Amino acid sequence: MKSKHNALAALAAAASIPLTAQAEVTPEDQVIAYRYSQYSEDDNPRERTITPETGRYDIEVHQLRHARPLGEDWYIDSQMQYETLSGASPLQTYEEDGKSVLVTSGATIDEQRFDLKVSPKRYFDDGSLGGTLAYSTENDYESIALGADGSLELFDKHTTLLASFSASYDTLSPTDIDEYPAREEFDGKNKRIVSLYQGVSQVIDKNRVIQVGAGLTHLSGYLSDPYKTYDLRPDERDQFTISALYRHFLNVGDGAALHADYRLYSDDWGIFSHTLTARWAQSFNTSSMQFLVTPLVRYYRQTEADFYTLERFPADEFYSSDSRLSAFGAITIGLDTRAQWQNWTLSLDMQYYTSDEELGLIETSDTETPSLLTYTILSFGTEYRY
């Protein structure tokens, strides 16, 4: 199911937000790139897991990318991704004898996922206009999405207006119906997502640039998790974000940049969150090679959803014990490295993520949430430009 990949998707999205002090121009290079990533979750705590299996997900990801100019003003970017996933999934968390305990599915999940995305973009003298068409399929899920984005440069290209739109339609077909007959009623259920973003980027001077923006996302359809017991969520959800990104380019060593990002999030399920991210990108050059080393630290905290519960047999209108809807905090540390030689670039990246109810700092929960995640991502990539 698509929600299994939230961690990978969130990290990829956070890492891909571009912000530079230079005007947009049509890329001239053709690009061929490959990346391999390994995502591994730590086991659930044995003393809180009442089913035999304590293991979590392991995911391997292969990504291919090809991008090239089309004429003088067009550029097309094509990406393909293949994932294999195995492991056990949390079914329910509930309180028993004053302690929270976890029930898992056992090591029954063994799936594959295939994604394809094509993104053409047209560049103008004072901006750009692009589109995206994406398709994703896996054992129990199918999704098709489209999007559009644009930019308009003003005031001698010191100010850039940004806007984007995306929409997706997802269809669910749960697996293991023979073992879990209740899942059959969810077969064919769908989910629709529409997102809007508007922002502005401002060059402060030759070394500093800031970007602020706001986003709105509306989800409708089947939003519960069919792989969890006692999970019934509203069929609509509105999400709102405000973000600010700051870049400061510094004359340190062979060149450096400070990246500082903040995001405020709220939704009508009662979740309110803050995300703070800081990076330091440091260049090191030799006569024939260029190196870029970027350490990262991120802090995240959120409140719990209105219907989050640890009752074993909940009777409210809506209910879920999904740890992603609980109150918790999380810390991510990472290190991205790049080595460039002539037309080749090699990359090696690592991220470590841990979450805990005590890391929320404010409005912490008195009840432990044993299914909160700790995971590691290791990635290796190569890119050739010509």
pLDDT at 97 over 90: no
Q: State the DSSP string of 315-351.
A: -SSSBB--GGGS-EEEEEEEEEEEEEETTEEEEEEEE
In the chain, the N- to C-terminal Cα span, in Å, equals 38
pLDDT at 215 over 90: yes
Task: Judge contact between 207 and 20, C-beta under 8 A.
Answer: no
Q: State the DSSP string of 134-177.
A: EEEEETTEEEEEEEEEEEEEETTTTEEEEEEEEEEEEEE--S-T
Residues 201, 194: Cα–Cα separation, whole Å = 23
More confident of the two residues 20 and 171: 171
User: pLDDT value at position 2?
Assistant: 44
Of residues 225, 203, 200, the one with CA closest to residue 141: 225
Task: Judge contact between 139 and 111, C-beta under 8 A.
Answer: yes
Q: How many domains does the chain have?
A: 1
Residues 57, 104: Cα–Cα separation, whole Å = 12
Task: Judge contact between 278 and 293, C-beta under 8 A.
Answer: no
Task: Judge contact between 249 and 207, C-beta under 8 A.
Answer: yes
pTM of the model as a whole? 0.91
DSSP element (H, E) containing 209: strand 208-221
User: pLDDT value at position 105?
Assistant: 82
Of residues 234, 194, 181, 170, the one with CA closest to residue 5: 170
Average pLDDT on 176-186 reads 72
Task: Tell me the per-residue pLDDT of 238-278, one tens digit each, with 9 for 90 and over.
Answer: 999 999 999 999 999 999 999 999 999 999 999 999 999 99
pLDDT at 12 over 60: no
Other beta carbons within 10 Å of 211: 19
Dihedral angle at the C-alpha atoms of 117, 264, 379, 66, nearest 10 degrees?
Answer: 20
Residues 233, 69: Cα–Cα separation, whole Å = 45
Average pLDDT of the residues of the chain: 91
Average pLDDT on 62-74 reads 97
User: pLDDT value at position 308?
Assistant: 96
Average pLDDT on 39-51 reads 90
The sign one gets for the Cα dihedral 230, 231, 234, 238 is positive
Task: Judge contact between 224 and 2, C-beta under 8 A.
Answer: no
pLDDT at 7 over 90: no
Q: Which two tokens stand for residue 357?
A: 């109810």
At residue 343 the predicted structure's pLDDT band, cuts being 50, 70 and 90, is very high
Residue with tokens 């380019």: 249
DSSP classification of residue 367: S
Domain that holds residue 291: 2-19+26-385
pLDDT at 182 over 60: yes
Other beta carbons within 10 Å of 14: 15
Of residues 242, 374, 363, the one with CA closest to residue 308: 363
List CB contacts of 377: < 8 A, sequence separation 6 or more. Answer: 8, 11, 37, 38, 39, 40, 349, 350, 351, 353
User: pLDDT value at position 25?
Assistant: 86
At residue 136 the predicted structure's pLDDT band, cuts being 50, 70 and 90, is very high
Task: Judge contact between 325 and 3, C-beta under 8 A.
Answer: no
Task: Judge contact between 242 and 199, C-beta under 8 A.
Answer: no
Backbone angles phi, psi at 255, to 5 degrees: 120, 140
Question: Where residue 293 sits, what CATH number does that domain have?
Answer: 2.40.160
Lowest-confidence range among 175-184, 283-292, 354-363, 373-382? 175-184
Backbone angles phi, psi at 310, to 5 degrees: -115, 20
Task: Judge contact between 93 and 101, C-beta under 8 A.
Answer: yes
Of residues 201, 221, 205, 94, the one with CA closest to residue 153: 201
More confident of the two residues 174 and 63: 63
At residue 180 the predicted structure's pLDDT band, cuts being 50, 70 and 90, is low
Residues 147, 378: Cα–Cα separation, whole Å = 29
User: pLDDT value at position 106?
Assistant: 72
Q: Which two tokens stand for residue 108?
A: 């029954």
Written in H, E and C, the secondary structure of 52-65 is CCCCCCEEEEEEEE
At residue 21 the predicted structure's pLDDT band, cuts being 50, 70 and 90, is very low
Q: Kindly state the percentage of the chain with pLDDT values over 90.
A: 75
